[in-house]
Amino acid sequence: MDLPIYAIVGDRPVKAERTEDGGMVLLAFDWKTGELEPNGSYLTKIFTPNAETDFVHKRTFERKAAELRAMIKK
């Protein structure tokens, strides 16, 4: 499987990336902190095609996360 995977699920940036031990971690944007936090609940959203998930390039993912951070820090 090719990692990392960048996605917008609903309005939330979610990233799947490889861990140092060869595993995988899902990181989802946290609305309170503005940071990407481990959140395995998005596993099916990333690996089962659905209308709610939009797979994006890294730049689009980073831009969306930055926009959301700016909004929550106001």
Domain boundaries, the chain: 5-72
| Single-letter amino acid, residue 29 | F
The residue ranking higher by pLDDT, 26 or 50, is 26
| Residues 19 and 26 sit within 8 Å (Cβ to Cβ) | no
Q: What pTM does this model have?
A: 0.91
Mean pLDDT value of segment 18-43: 96
Task: Write down the mean pLDDT value for the chain.
Answer: 94
pLDDT band for position 73 (cuts 50, 70, 90): confident
**pLDDT digit string, tens, across residues 3-29:** 999 999 999 999 999 999 999 999 999
Distance CA 65, CA 48 (A): 23
| Bond preceding residue 13 cis, omega within 30 of 0 | no
pLDDT of residue 54: 95
Residue 11's identity, in one-letter code, is D
